[in-house]
């Protein structure tokens, strides 16, 4: 509870073992990075099918590195051997736990409480949340000083940036340890304050929100918006990018930011995006989003 003394946890032990919780779009990429860089990594998901798909995707991701000559094939086997997929939460124990479950505060709270109960107080609990306040996440967790934001970008094995976010309670040594780990994973960590959407998602929100408005107002169809923006130099248009991110995840992030900014209309979620979510058209991961992938 908040009555606990602050900073009762000393500098964390060197991080030797990692667990990634949630094996969806982001979790699988983060787990790949960890095993690729030598860390024994537990990968947990509630859903056995998603976990099995994640294992296949990680093997394929490492295979691509071998094909490109960036990794010897023996190292691929060694990396795969470091991965321990599981649907048993009770074995999720590590020096650093990175959660990448659905963007819902209540789900993350319950998860961190369960993880806190079965891990040492020094275990760092990092969240890959795109939009939920780290301070609020940490407040419901025993020893909130070990809760920190570690925000990767999609696809995690390729995108160099990681935002490291300290909440009000986060111990500086914990943020330092996560920053150093991100560097060991070959990333470029950037410190961000605990403001809604941190840096990148806050600015990028308008790329999605405004594009959805353009389509909703029938100014242009979504594929035309993509084509135009790609022609001006964006690597992916907003609709192709939403399909990659997960239309459901993107919607949850916008919804969380709308709330966090006290319902500022500039962050209002879109009706057509809501409909895609309701219809189960969540993008590439479901075979259909704005585009068809089947």
H/E run at residue 274: helix 271-279
243 binds ligand NAD (CB under 6 A): no
Residue 236 annotated as lining a ligand binding site: no
Q: HEC string of 31-76?
A: HHHHHHCCCCEEEECCCHHHHHHHHHHHHHHHHHHHHCCCCCHHHH
How many residues of this chain bind ligand NAD (CB under 6 A)?
A: 30
Position among 27, 85, 157, 269 found at the interface with ligand NAD (CB under 6 A): 27
Phi and psi at residue 43, to the nearest 5°: -120, 115
Q: Does 201 qualify as catalytic in the annotation?
A: yes
Residues 47-66 that bind ligand NAD (CB under 6 A): 47, 50
Q: Does 230 qualify as catalytic in the annotation?
A: no
In this structure, what DSSP letter does residue 10 have?
-
Choices 19-27, 33-41, 75-83, 221-229 (CB under 6 A): range interacting with ligand NAD: 19-27
Question: Cβ(97)–Cβ(21) under 8 Å?
Answer: yes
101 binds ligand NAD (CB under 6 A): yes
Residue 173 annotated as lining a ligand binding site: no
Nearer to ligand NAD, 22 or 85 (CB): 22
Comparing C-alpha atoms, which of 58, 23, 39, 78 is closest to residue 184? 39
Which residues have CB under 8 Å from 214's CB, separation 6+?
A: 220, 225
Q: Which residues contact ligand NAD (rule: CB under 6 A)?
A: 21-27, 44-47, 50, 100-103, 107, 111, 128-130, 151-154, 245-246, 249, 253, 285
Question: Which residues belong to the annotated binding site?
Answer: 22-27, 45, 103, 108, 130, 154, 285
């Amino acid at each position: 509870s908040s009555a606990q003394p602050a900073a009762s946890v000393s500098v964390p032990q060197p991080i030797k073992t990692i667990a990634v919780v949630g094996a969806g779009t982001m979790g699988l990429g983060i787990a790949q990075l960890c095993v690729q860089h030598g860390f024994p990594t537990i990968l947990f998901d509630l859903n056995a099918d998603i976990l099995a798909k994640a294992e296949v995707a990680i093997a394929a991701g490492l295979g691509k590195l071998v094909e490109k000559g960036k990794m010897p094939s023996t190292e691929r086997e060694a990396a795969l051997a470091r991965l321990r997929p599981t649907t048993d939460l009770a074995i999720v124990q590590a020096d650093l736990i990175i959660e990448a479950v659905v963007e819902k505060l209540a789900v993350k709270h319950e998860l961190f409480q369960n993880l806190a109960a079965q891990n040492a107080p020094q275990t760092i609990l990092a969240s890959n949340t795109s939009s939920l306040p780290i301070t609020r996440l940490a407040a419901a967790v025993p020893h909130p000083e070990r809760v920190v934001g570690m925000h990767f970008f999609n696809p995690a094995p390729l995108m160099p940036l990681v935002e490291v976010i300290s909440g009000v309670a986060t111990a500086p040594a914990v943020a330092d340890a996560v920053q150093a780990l991100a560097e060991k994973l070959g990333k470029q960590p950037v410190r961000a304050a605990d403001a809604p959407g941190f840096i990148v998602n806050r600015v990028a929100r308008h790329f999605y929100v405004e594009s959805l408005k353009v389509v909703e107002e029938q100014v242009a169809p979504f594929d035309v918006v993509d084509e135009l923006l790609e022609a001006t130099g964006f690597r992916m248009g907003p609709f192709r990018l939403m399909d990659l991110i997960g239309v459901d995840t993107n919607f949850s992030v916008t919804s969380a930011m709308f709330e966090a900014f006290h319902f500022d209309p500039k962050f209002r979620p879109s009706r057509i995006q809501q409909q895609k979510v309701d219809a189960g058209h969540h993008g590439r991961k479901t075979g259909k989003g704005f585009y068809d992938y089947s």
